[in-house]
Structure 1
Amino acid sequence: MLRLKCPTQNYAWGRLGRTSSEVAKLVEGAGYEVDDSQPYAELWMGTHPSGHAALASKEHLTLADWLEDHPEALGQQVLQHFGAGLPFLLKVLSCEKALSIQSHPDKKLAQRLHAERPEVYKDDNHKPEMVVALSPFTALCGFVPQAELAAAFSSVPELCACVGRDLTTAITSPTAAASTSNGREGNGHLANGHPEASNGAHANGRVKSNGHSSDSGASAPLKAAFTALMTCDGSKVEEQVERMAERLRQDSKSRALSVREALAMRLQFQYPGDVGVLASFFLNLIDLTPGQAMYLAANVPHAYIAGEAVECMATSDNVVRAGLTPKLRDTQVLCDSLTYEQGLPEILSGAGDAEHTAVYRPPFEEFEVALTTLQPGQSCSQPASQGPQMCLVQHGALQMVAEPSLMEDHLETSYHVHWDLAGPLLTLIPRGSPAARDLFIPE
């Protein structure tokens, strides 16, 4: 086992200091200084060049460098399937402001973008991801069902003004609603293709997703309308967003705003005049409670709005942005590459594979996430893993016993990140009176 020191990202959308940011609390709990005037947005646990984890005992030695010298620690199956590199990146997020409307390219697109613009798209890998809520967590994810989209166009004239009359008619017409009743809408899944068990390098019930985009049939008007909005003249968008905000300010004097209207006003306050304010009406509004999870395949539009969560993904930092951001926007690439599937994302509550543990299995082969909650006097054994494991102790203190070596490691304080090599059975035992809550990432 290796104890790690992990870097933070101080993005502007993060929560300030230790009083509000879980990321800052984790940093302080691990014994490092926190600047309460700075936003603490993300804690990175992995080997990505944009945020190397280092060995706590040898901070000059990164986990990536250590793995280069000890590739056997990844396990034979991971080495054969993914090569000599950690296939996942683990993060903790503390979101105060909305993140950008974005997607992550599939492998084919990632390879092309990296070859064309390596300074922007630094990786040639895809970035499927899953988020597990630590607090109430709000996000936009995937396109709303057709009936909800038609209702938005009927109630938000500013949206229609940016999209245009013909496309508004195409979205709101009865034929558009009928064309989506072919079984593709509202099935609870955003990942394309029927997930099936993977018989590759993993023997833990992993499933796969095709992750391809579609612009045929009922999705063609959706793609055309969304693209028209996202590529609309910036001054026109700004004018219409402000007009909508003023209309809703007046309406709020005589009625309560709807949840979607209130979100639009919140986004307008954070990103005045931004096209993402109107684009939010295209996307599902998802509220996760602590312990719930949601996964996102490649090319699915999304934006995290607020809350704290653990996020796990394939090792990549490729992001295609188009709204709610001061960063570089690649609007045409985003619009061309999205999966224009309508319906709610699948919400995972975790399978009870072992006592005190919930396991979250997205349809990706790079990772799964397990959440273990222990009270004093309880213990839990994690089975031997075919790949490496990353362990984050969020609360309390934990004793780990790895068999067959029976090596013990005592986490005398909270908030430590631990790396475990492929292979041994791992037993977790809480120490002291507080509950120990362990977020555990097996490969």
Structure 2
Amino acid sequence: MEAPLRSLRLRCSVQNYEWGRRGEESTVARLFERNSGAQIDLACPYAEFWMGTHDSGPSFLMLAGSDSGEVALKKWIRENPGALGDKVVAKWGTGLPFLFKILSVAKALSIQTHPDKELARMLHMMRPSVYKDPNHKPEMAIALTEFKALCGFVSMEELKDVLSVPEITELVGNDEGSKIIQTRELNGYMNAKAVMQSAFIKLMSSNRDVISTLVSKLKNRLFSYKNSEFRGQRLSEKEQLALLLEKQYQADVGVLASFFFNYVKLSPGEALYIGPNEPHAYISGECIECMAASDNVVQAGLTPKYVDIQTLCSMLTYKQGFPEILRGISLNPYVTRYAPPFDEFEVDRCILPSKESVLFSPVPGPSIFIIVAGEGQLQMGSVIEERVAEGDAYFVPAHSQISFSASDDKPIHLYRSGVNSRIFG
């Protein structure tokens, strides 16, 4: 493939899911407006800004010389496979293996998990209208603001507290409490998993009317505690979260299920990665997200959309314990790399002060860059410099060098997604 004559600027897609932030409060809305030139609707939620080749939200290359002035990135890569690099093509073919996003979350997303490759193929074959592709979807979120999420099951010790919540005890029964004591004495992983699995499935499979009654009881009890500061104690973070979720999703099983999961709070620059078959739900905040090129989601609560409780409960690993938080590895004074244990992607975070420059050396795979804030200049190889600003996104082919310089008065905040460097040895 011949080197491009100019930088490959992208026009990207947006998703207006109901849980997104609205108007100028949404980073997604601001970036989309600047990226596309479209005027945003202040009353509309802007949830996700997509950069990649997935059919549900494709990106387009702004190329002079094409009939329409742009061409689908997916089509261009298919016609120029060298842009991916030999190793990427050998491993994944001519499809971009990752999907890059920015999320603006105003309301909790569904309790969900993503299938592994084998299950993804089966679900796609059985219900292609729900499960849009046959790929798995490991993912990573890097906080742009304070970012809150539920992720993975609590430890066995914490599960004792979960099963002491009166409404959950009423539902799953006192037998589960005695199982916990026995499991603690046996100290066996399989026993711990079996107890967690039994209690969670019993909750998630319960009758809707029963759940509605118990969620109402929980709400009334917590409001009573909150208003009277019952016995001088304040509500726990999990109890406060349950009230928030109940306000957003009345009579939903996810309000009770939230007690089973770790409550994670990320500060800007911290990251959380989620493997296949692990439960999670984003609660609030804004983040950079990267994942394998898939849109497969199995949902089971905190959503008005289609839920598949049986599939979700059967596919979970029921692994317990607090998830690992990534803080990245410094590559130079300005760039931090987040490399999860997945081949399809890694993400670089770059905070470039005013008047400073940074060089991204050539790599054997493709990259996508997005300017989240600031302005300056870009230079690709020997191409003449081009002005860049908030909302600009670029596809950079394999073996291409690119550099950025911040303006005199506005630092640049940008992110790069690419194939995980570990596959290149």
TM over 0.5: yes
- Per the alignment, residue 424 of structure 1 pairs with 400
Report the counterpart of residue 200 of structure 2 in structure 1: 226
Change (3 A) 1:160 1:304: same
* Deviation digits for residues 216-237 of structure 1 (CA, Å, limit 9, x no counterpart): 4320111111111001111000
Does the alignment pair 1:45 with 2:51?
yes
Residue of structure 1 equivalent to 2:390: 414
Match of 2:30 among 18, 21, 25: 25
Say which SS state the counterpart of residue 54 (structure 2) adopts. coil
* Residue correspondences, number: 404
1:327 aligns with 2:333: no
Report the AA paired with residue 176 of structure 1: T
The 1:59/1:311 distance shift into structure 2, 3 A limit, reads: farther
1:218 is paired with a residue whose SS is helix
The whole-number CA distance in structure 1 between the counterparts of 2:414 and 2:340 is 19
1:174: how far off?
Answer: 2.0
- 1:254 Cα deviation from its structure 2 partner: 2.0
**Partners in 2 of 1:371 and 1:416 — Cα distance?**
15
**Identity level (%):** 43
Which TM-score applies when normalising by structure 1?
Answer: 0.89
How many Å apart are 1:61 and its aligned residue?
1.9
Alpha carbons 2:371, 2:389 under 8 Å: kept: no
**Residue in structure 1 matched with residue 182 of structure 2 by the alignment:** 175
8 Å CA contact 2:163, 2:176 repeated in 1: no
- Unaligned segments of structure 2, at least 5 residues: 1-6, 420-425
Alpha-carbon distance, 1:409 to partner: 4.3
Which secondary structure does the structure 2 equivalent of 1:162 belong to?
Answer: helix
> Which residue of 10, 23, 26 corresponds with 2:16?
10
CA distance in 2, matches of 1:28, 1:306: 22
Alignment partner of 1:355 is 2:346: no
Which of 152, 172, 176 pairs up with 2:162?
152
Q: Please list the CA deviations of residues 212-269 of structure 1 after superposition, one character each: whole Å capped at 9, or x if unmatched.
A: xxxx432011111111100111100010000010011111122221111000000000
Q: TM-score, normalised by structure 2?
A: 0.92
Residue 267 of structure 2 corresponds to which residue in structure 1? 289
| Equivalent residues in 2 for 1:157-236, closer than 5 Å | 157-170=166-179, 173-180=180-187, 216-236=190-210
| Residue in structure 1 matching 2:285, options 275, 294, 307 | 307
SS at match of 1:429: strand
Deviates more, 1:415-424 or 1:261-270: 415-424
SS in structure 1 of the partner of residue 322 of structure 2: coil
Instruction: Specify whether residues 411 and 157 from structure 1 end up closer, same or farther in structure 2 by C-alpha distance, changes over 3 A only.
Output: same
Q: Which letter does structure 2 place at the counterpart of 1:161? A: E
Matched residue, 1:36: 42
CA contact under 8 A between 1:372 and 1:439: conserved in structure 2? yes
1:194 alignment counterpart: none
Give the SS at the match of 1:109.
helix
Deviations 1:32-70 (A, max 9, x none): 210001000000101001001112345652111111111
What is the rounded CA distance, in whole Å, between the counterparts of 2:258 and 2:183 in structure 1? Answer: 20
Secondary structure, aligned partner of 2:184 = helix
State the secondary structure of the residue aligned to 1:305: strand
Counterpart amino acid of 1:227? I
1:84 partner SS: coil
- Counterpart residue number, 1:133: 143
CA contact (8 A) 1:348 1:360 kept: yes
Aligned-partner Cα distance in 2 for 1:99–1:27: 21
1:96 aligns with 2:106: yes
**Match for residue 54 of structure 1 among 57, 60, 67:** 60
What pairs with 1:394-413 in structure 2 (closer than 5 Å)?
A: 394-403=372-381, 406-413=382-389
Contact 1:3 1:416 in 2 (8 A): yes
The answer (yes or no) to whether the contact 2:21–2:106 under 8 Å persists in 1 is yes
Measured against aligned partners, the alpha-carbon deviations of 1:91-146 in whole angstroms (never above 9, x if no partner) come to: 10000000000000000111111111112111111000000000000000000111
Distance in 2 separating the partners of 1:299 and 1:363: 15
RMSD (CA atoms): 1.4
Decide which of 205, 218, 225 is 1:251's aligned counterpart. 225
Q: Which amino acid aligns with 2:211?
A: V
Deviation of the 1:412 alpha carbon? 4.1
Code of the residue aligned with 1:141 in structure 2: it is: C
Q: Which amino acid aligns with 1:232?
A: S
Q: Does structure 2 retain, via aligned residues, the 8 Å contact 1:376–1:432? A: yes
Match for residue 142 of structure 1? Answer: 152
- Return the letter of the residue paired with 1:151: D
Residue 77 (structure 1) shift: 0.8
Q: 3-state DSSP class of the match of 2:163? A: helix
- The C-alpha deviation readout for 1:193-214, integer Å capped at 9, x for no partner, is xxxxxxxxxxxxxxxxxxxxxx
Distance between the aligned counterparts of 2:260 and 2:172, measured in 1? 12
Aligned to 1:86: 96
Give the counterpart letter for 2:196 in structure 1.
L
CA contact (8 A) 2:110 2:281 kept: yes
The residue aligned with 1:114 is 124
Match of 2:81 among 68, 71, 78: 71
8 Å contact kept, 1:385–1:442 = no
Confirm or deny: 8 A CA contact 2:355 2:409 kept in the other structure.
no
Check conservation: 1:393, 1:438, Cα contact below 8 A: yes
Amino acid at match of 1:177: R
